Amino acid sequence: MKKIVHKSDRIYRNGQGKSTKTKTNSKSGRYIYPTMQRKNNDFAIDATIRAAAPYQKYRQKNNLAIKIESEDIREKVRQKKVSNLITFVVDASGSMGANQRMIETKGAILSLLKQSYVKRDKIALVAFRNDKAEVILPPTMSVERGYKLLKTMETGGKTPLNSGISKGYEIIKKELRKNPNILPLMIIITDGKGNISLDRNLKPKQELIKIAKLVKEQNKINSIVIDIEKSGLMSFKIAKELAKSIGAEYVKIDDLKSQSIIKSINDFRGE
């Protein structure tokens, strides 16, 4: 399994947590580099002096040790850790290995929930099967609730992948309205072979790419696509195309295990 290269969060957030590093507009957090952009009057004295130094011989100092002009001023870009919302979107349809896939996903979720009291992460699970997606586990930090709601998970039927991603997206949007500073991460576990459309006028794959691009346009949602399609001559690589369209990290796993799911998440978070 190829290791995911950690990418810094592009959005400035001001929340609290112990999970993923992100840039912040607040005056707390580790100073990582200076910027010319003026956001919060968190002045970077060192960088400001360096910017002003070459021009001192041309400026009237009026007994000042150094003359600072407005164009010299630099502010601090800080980094702090925030909490994640990790939303699993998992294929529970009648494809081969569905029962084992749900068992491994359950193991990964419960393991993450056991860490959530420290990291303050919320975990959610959407499973898609038959003709719809279902929220099996609403966003929670409770291990007890996880054990209770994940006790039985049905599998079988068709593959409404598009409905699953849409439902996961709805959960994330709702949580972001409550807490704009949480860092959302969608984990999509699929072979990409959805066979049901939400809009009957669109073919499943056509609609899938449309939904994926909609999620990508939000620029606030990180995602990982874990491709569980068996390698071979009849490999369609639709999950890889989905990852590209949604702007996700792509991971190919032939033998899905809870440890491999957690490793993908930790690699993404830079842990």
In this structure, what CATH number is given to the domain that contains residue 216? 3.40.50.410
Q: Are residues 55 and 100 in the same domain?
A: no
> What total of structural domains would you count in the chain?
2
The pLDDT value given to residue 172: 97
Residue 4 lies in a domain: no
Question: Looking at the structure, do residues 145 and 249 belong to the same domain, yes or no?
Answer: yes
The pTM (predicted TM-score) of the whole model is: 0.78
Residues 53 and 159 in one domain: no
Looking at the structure, tell me whether residues 151 and 261 fall in a common domain.
yes
- Same domain? For 63 and 88 the reply is no
When computed from its CA atoms, the radius of gyration of the chain, rounded to whole angstroms, is 23
Condensed to tens digits (0 to 9), the pLDDT of residues 130-143 reads 999 999 999 999 99
- What is the residue range of 207's domain? 83-269
Residue 16 region by backbone torsions, left for phi larger than 0, else alpha for psi between -120 and 50, else beta: beta
| Tens digits of residue pLDDT in 86-130 | 999 999 998 768 999 999 999 999 999 999 888 889 999 999 999
- Residue 1: predicted pLDDT: 53
Sheet of 132-140: strand order equals 132-140, 122-129, 84-91, 183-190, 222-227, 249-252
Mean of pLDDT over the chain: 88
> pLDDT (tens digit, 9 = 90+) per residue, 141-174?
999 999 999 998 899 999 999 999 999 999 999 9
For the ranges 31-35, 54-58, 164-168, the maximum mean pLDDT occurs at: 164-168
